[in-house]
Structure 1
Amino acid sequence: MASHEMGKASAGGAPDSHVEPQLVNENVCQPIDRSQNCRKGELQALGAIQILNGVMILALGVFLGSLLYLSHLFRHPFFFTFYTGYPLWGAVFFISSGSLSIAAGRTSRRKLIQNSCEVNISSATIAIVGIIFLLINLVINSMSFKSCQLFQSPDLCIYVGSTSMGLVSLMLILTLLELCINISIIVMWCKKNCCNSREAISSPPNSVE
C-alpha cells in the first residue's frame, strides 16, 4: 500500500518538473509581449514624425535656395548647407526611414522590421553628417557678417545672413530630433532581438519524456 502511494506521488510530481521551464519561458519577456501593440503604435508615431521632419527640412531647403536666388548673393558662405545638398538627400533619407518605420509598425514581418532598423541606422549616420554641416554653416554665418560691408547693399546682406541663420538653426533642431528618433527605434529593435534570444535559450526541449 505504501509503495502504491509512493508511485502515485511520483506520478503526480512528474508534471511539475515539466512546468518549470514553461514558466521561465513565459516570464522572461512577458512585459514586452503585453506591450506589443503599444510598441507598434509608438513605432508608427515615430515614423510619422520622421516623415514630417523630412518634409520640413526639404521645405526649409527650398526657402534657403529661394533666398539665394532672390538676393543675388551667389557663392556666399551663408548658403553652405544648400551647396552641400543636405536639405534634399537628408530629407529623402528621413522620409524613407519614416515610411519603413510606419510599415514595420503595421506588420510583424521580421524582414521588414530588419530593413527598417538598417535604414534607421543609415538615417542616423546621415543625421550626424547633417548636424556637422549645419554647425559649420552657423559658424561661417557668424563670421561672414563682417564681409557684408563690402557689398553695395550691406543691409540686404545682413538681412539675408540673419534669415539664413534662422533657417539653418531650424534645420539643426529638426535634425537633432531625427537623430533622437533614429536612436529610439534602433534601441527598440535591439530590445526585441534580446527578448527573442532569451526566449530561444529558455525554451524547454521538444522531446522530454
Structure 2
Amino acid sequence: MASQPIVEPEFHQILLKGQPKALGAIQISLAFVQMFVGTVLVYTLNAYTSVTVYSFIFYWGAAFYLISGSVTVAAANKGTRGLVKGTLGTNLFSALIALCEVALVIIDLAHTYYFNYGPCFTSPCSLFQDTLLVIRLITLIHLVFITFLQFTMSITGFAFSIRSMKKKTPDIPPNTYQNPAFST
C-alpha cells in the first residue's frame, strides 16, 4: 500500500513562505551574540553610568529572543494553530522589547558625558579610560545594530504569523469511518 503524501493545512503553508526556521535560527543566534556583547559592556563599565548595563536588558531581552526563536522554529516543524498563535505573541513581545532596548542604547550613546565621568578623569589613568570609552562606544553601536536586526526578525515572524492566522481552514467533517467490529 502506497503512503499518501502529507497535506499540510493552508495556514501552515502560508507560514512556511516566510521561512520560519531561518527566522528562528537567526533570532536564536542574535540572542547569543547579544549576550556576549552585553557581557563586554558590563566588563567595560568601570565607574560610568549606563542605563543599558543597569537594566541588564541585553540578558533578559536575549532570553525572550531565545524563546521567540524557539517557538518560531517549533511552529515551522509542527504547524498547529496553537504554535502559530504562540509565534504571533512571542514575536510581538520580542519586537516591543527590542524597541525598548534600542531606546536605552541610544540614550547611552547620546549622553556621552556619562562616559567622560569617572575616577580616572583627572589622573594619569586617562589613557585607560579613553580605551574603555572607545570599547564601550563600539560595543553600544554593535548592540544597536544587533537589536535592530532582532526587531526586524521579530516583525517579520509576526507578519507571517498574522498572515497565516487570517487564512481560514475548512472545517474537518466528523469521522465517517465505521469500525466493522461495531457495525450491526
Range class of TM-score, shorter chain: 0.7 to 0.9
How many angstroms apart in 2 are the aligned matches of 1:80 and 1:178?
20
Q: Is the 8 A contact 1:40 1:106 kept in 2?
A: no
Stretches of structure 2 that go unaligned for 5 or more consecutive residues are 1-8, 172-184
User: For the residues of structure 2 that align with 1:153 and 1:42, how far apart are their CA atoms?
Assistant: 51
Greater percentage in helix: 1
Q: Mark the structure with the bigger radius of gyration.
A: 1
Q: What's the counterpart of residue 42 of structure 2?
A: 65
Residue 93 (1) aligns with residue 64 (2): yes
In the TM superposition, what whole-angstrom CA distance separates every residue of 1:50-106 from its partner, at most 9, and x where no partner exists?
A: 0011000001111122223xxxx23x12x4311111111111011110011000110
Structure-2 change in CA distance of 1:94 and 1:151 (3 Å)? farther
Q: 2: CA distance between counterparts of 1:118 and 1:105?
A: 15
* Of 52, 68, 80, the match for 1:109: 80
- Deviation of 1:194 after TM superposition, in Å, equals 2.3
Quote the offset at 1:35 in angstroms.
9.1
Between the aligned partners of 1:47 and 1:171, the Cα distance in structure 2 is 19
CA distance in 1, matches of 2:96, 2:156: 14
Give the TM-score normalised by the residue count of structure 1: 0.69
> CA separation in 1, counterparts of 2:60 and 2:123?
32
1:35–1:186 distance in 2 versus 1, CA, 3 Å: closer
SS of the residue 1:108 aligns to: coil
Choose from 93, 99, 116 the match for 1:122: 93
TM alignment of 1:35-184, pairs within 5 A:
36=13, 39=16, 42-68=19-45, 73-74=46-47, 76-77=48-49, 79-141=50-112, 143-144=113-114, 146-147=116-117, 149-184=121-156
Q: How many residues align?
A: 161
Q: One-letter code of the match for 1:164?
A: R
Write the letter of the residue equivalent to 2:103: I
Report the CA distance shift for 1:35/1:86 in structure 2 as closer, same or farther (over 3 A): closer
Q: What is the RMSD computed on CA atoms of the aligned residues?
A: 2.5
Matched-pair identity in %: 24
Greater relative CO, 1 or 2 (CA 8 Å, sep 6+)? 2
Q: For 2:111, what is the secondary structure of its paired residue?
A: helix
Question: In the TM superposition, what is the alpha-carbon distance from 1:195 to its structure 2 partner?
Answer: 2.4
Q: Which ranges in structure 1 are unaligned for 5 or more consecutive residues?
A: 1-31, 204-209
